[in-house]
Amino acid sequence: MKVHVNGETKQYAENITVADIVNDLGLTNKRIAVELNKEILPFNSYTQTHVNSEDNLEVVQAIGGGQED
């Protein structure tokens, strides 16, 4: 099935979860935020939330940084 991930169309098997896609992106155990069809998902729902064909998933990773003194 087709899923739009960060603006890019990807093919995934049926019955895939948000956690599966996060793993596919190599972002497991990273500080991320996930939005599914314009709704922010709580981290503890990733393994139970299934993605459907043509869904839009946005995944952003928090990157630390700052300004030197």
H helices within 1-69, ranges in order?
18-24
Per-residue pLDDT, 64: 79
pLDDT tier at 67 (50, 70, 90 boundaries)? Answer: low
Neighbours of 66 (CB within 10 A): 5
Neighbours of 46 (CB within 10 A): 19
Q: Do 38 and 9 form a contact (C-beta atoms < 8 A)?
A: no
Per-residue pLDDT, 16: 98
pLDDT tier at 63 (50, 70, 90 boundaries)? Answer: confident
**Whole-model pTM?**
0.88
Tell me if residue 18 falls in helix, strand or coil.
helix
Domain boundaries, the chain: 2-61
Fold entry, domain 2-61:
Ubiquitin-like (UB roll) (3.10.20)
pLDDT digits (tens, 9 = 90+) for 4-43: 999 999 999 999 999 999 999 999 999 999 999 999 999 9
